Amino acid sequence: MTTVINNPGENRGDGASSGAGVVIGAIIVLLVLIIATVLALPYIRQRLATNSEPAVNNSVINVQLPGATTTVR
C-alpha cells in the first residue's frame, strides 16, 4: 500500500505558476461579460429609444385667429 502526497508547490517543472488558474478564470469571466454587453447593446438602445419618445397626444387645439383687417385709404 502506497501513500501519495500531492504537493503542487514542489513540482515546478511544468512551467505553470500556482496562480495561473485564477488569472485565466478572471480573463474568461471578463471576456464573457464584454461579449454579453456587446450583444445586449441593441436591446438597450431600443429600450432607451422607446422611453425617450414623447407620449402621443391626440388632443386638438382649435385656435381661430381674427381675420386680417385691411384699411382703405
Is residue 5 predicted with pLDDT exceeding 90? no
| pTM, rounded to two decimals | 0.45
Cα separation of 21 and 8, whole Å? 13
Binning pLDDT at 50, 70 and 90, where does residue 37 land? very high
Is residue 13 predicted with pLDDT exceeding 70? no
Cα separation of 8 and 17, whole Å? 10
Cα separation of 37 and 21, whole Å? 24
